[in-house]
Amino acid sequence: MNTVGQDLDLIQARLHDGGTVWTRAELLNWYNDGYYQLCWQSGAIRRLQFYDLPPRFAYTHTFEWETQFTQHGPSRCIGWSFHDRTYRCTSYWEVSLITGHVPAASLPGITQDWERSHVDAVDQHYTFALPHNFDLLLDARWNNRPLNGISVREMDEADDAWMRRVGEPWWYSTGTGRNDTVEIFQIKTDYQQAYSAIGYDSYGFPRLLSGDRTYEVSSSVRQADYTYTASGDVPNPLNGFGWRFTYPSTVTSKMCVHQWEQQWLDGLTMTDSPTSGRGTQGWESQHGIAVTEFGVGFMRGLTSPDRQYLGYGQGLELYDYYGGVRSFSSSDNALEILVAQVPTTTLAEDDYPLLLPEQTQKYLRHFVWSRAFGRQGPAMIPKLSAHYRTRFIGGVMFMKELTNAAAADSVKVKDSAAGNGSSRPPYVRLPANFESTW
């Protein structure tokens, strides 16, 4: 795959320009535009996202201007404005009180949805934050079961308290929340926590997994590259993973190979040593000697015969596939969504447009040429611009088709006009003479 800079070199060569007519920064901007457009228009980048219940937001706030300080994290405005936005309230009775009326009936106000587990019902809707790079919500599931999309009007007409009705989730809607949010109904107010990363804010990556399941470590780094005996060997010129195999005595300055030696020197009760001896190098295992094996580094993957641990990136898509595991989620008793994503980072010249296959980089070049030849000023050639625009659109159509990787293997047949079912349960149909009959 070319870096963005290498692609810009190819683009400049075709423009016969070294930055005089079209600056490098200008081309880079267009390249980023093309990257976004190709991902967005094709909808080809699809990822799963899982949510523990109740929903969580990194920030809640009462005024819109506060969102600028939420660092692009999931945030929720819990304040309702009234009196020409002079006031903000979180409960209905506040409006009545300030306007000098009898306080309206209100339910408790909350700022985070986990508080629902401590109150009976609230007036806030049950809202989840969609990913920052979210473009289109394709699918939603609760506990592996599909949820049906529904409009707010249908819910309003069906139930006067649908927004706080507790029970099994059946529906999802993006109708009432703000942008980048989705709501589900019925709601779950108790905790449905799959994994809890304890101390993640202080200690970095998880080092230990515990719970109802049994976890074992499997490491590709099993043996030391070299061994050494004392702290005097460190620092040393050797590369790789070293293991100090000695037990230092706390009473004397001696280094011991076996633990009983150190215990004897320190005046402690001696324990047995391995009867096969103590190995210091990996090859000694060929002679029946137990060699210490190591699991080092971060957790890179999880496997199980009972379920799949599927790695997915969160945040900056450029680095989705690097680094360590930061959090764990589950599809059991959780909300799962499938979304189409768009890039949210601006590529620099040393970056790669990693969300797309490398072979589609030619369409990004077409996009840049389309913009360059279409720009008002020197070397504006509308016909060339239009042609490259057509090529780019061809690339979008191609990526859109590729979104279904199995499209070439699907057999298409004509369906009856009435269709053979949908994901929505049918409406109740009453006879045309319903009222007169009854």
Partner 1 sequence: MNRSDLTTRVLIELGESSTAPVFWDTDEVHTILQDAQESMAEAIGGIKRTAMLSLEAGAMFYPLRAIAPDLLRITRIWSPSRDMRLTSVTRDQLDRHHELWRTVTGSPENYLSMGYDWIGVWPVPATSGILLRIDYTAWPRTLDSDSDWPEFLEADHETLVRYGVYDGLMKRWDVEQAEAAFQEYEFRVGLGHSRSGTDKAKARNWQKGSAPASSFRSNVRTP
CB of 245 to partner 1, least distance (A): 36
Nearer to partner 1, 47 or 188 (CB): 47
Which residues are registered as beta bridge partners of 25? none
Nearer to partner 1, 146 or 204 (CB): 146
Q: Please say whether the dihedral angle defined by the alpha carbons of residues 190, 195, 201 and 203, taken in this order, is positive or negative.
A: positive
Q: Which residues have C-beta within 8 Å of that of residue 14, sequence separation ≥ 6?
A: 365, 369
Chain centre to alpha carbon of residue 211: 23
Which residues sit at the interface with partner 1, rule CB under 8 A?
Answer: 10, 13-14, 44-47, 139, 141, 144-146, 303-308, 310, 331, 338, 357, 359, 362, 381, 383-384, 387, 398-399, 402-413, 421, 423
Q: How many CA atoms lie within 13 A of 103 on its CB side?
A: 9
Quick check: 345 and 318 in contact, CB under 8 A? yes
CB of 390 to partner 1, least distance (A): 9
Nearer to partner 1, 102 or 405 (CB): 405
Q: How far apart are CA 57 and CA 35, in angstroms?
A: 29
CB of 347 to partner 1, least distance (A): 19
Q: How far apart are CA 187 and CA 51, in angstroms?
A: 13
Quick check: 227 and 255 in contact, CB under 8 A? no
CB of 384 to partner 1, least distance (A): 5
CB of 403 to partner 1, least distance (A): 5
Q: How far apart are CA 404 and CA 145, in angstroms?
A: 22
3-state secondary structure of 144: coil
Quick check: 132 and 344 in contact, CB under 8 A? yes
Nearer to partner 1, 283 or 309 (CB): 309
Rounded to 5 degrees, what are φ and ψ at 26? -65, -45
Nearer to partner 1, 70 or 333 (CB): 333
Residue among 121, 101, 262, 110 nearest 189 (CA): 121
Residue among 37, 30, 35, 36 nearest 12 (CA): 30
CB of 90 to partner 1, least distance (A): 38
Give the H or E element holding residue 337: strand 335-341
CB of 315 to partner 1, least distance (A): 19
Phi/psi zone of residue 211: left (φ > 0), alpha (ψ -120 to 50 degrees), beta? left
Nearer to partner 1, 144 or 346 (CB): 144
CB of 307 to partner 1, least distance (A): 5
Q: Which residues have C-beta within 8 Å of that of residue 281, sequence separation ≥ 6?
A: 223, 224, 227, 291
Residue among 268, 285, 267 nearest 277 (CA): 285
Q: How far apart are CA 45 and CA 63, in angstroms?
A: 33
CB of 350 to partner 1, least distance (A): 21
Question: Which residue blocks in 131-206 are alpha helix, DSSP H?
Answer: 152-158, 200-203
Nearer to partner 1, 240 or 305 (CB): 305
Nearer to partner 1, 92 or 398 (CB): 398
Nearer to partner 1, 383 or 429 (CB): 383
CB of 303 to partner 1, least distance (A): 7
The token duo for 292 is 């210490």
The token duo for 360 is 């589609």
The token duo for 403 is 């979104």
E strands, 196-290, are: 226-228, 242-244, 247-248, 255-256
Nearer to partner 1, 236 or 304 (CB): 304
Nearer to partner 1, 156 or 358 (CB): 358
CB of 163 to partner 1, least distance (A): 25
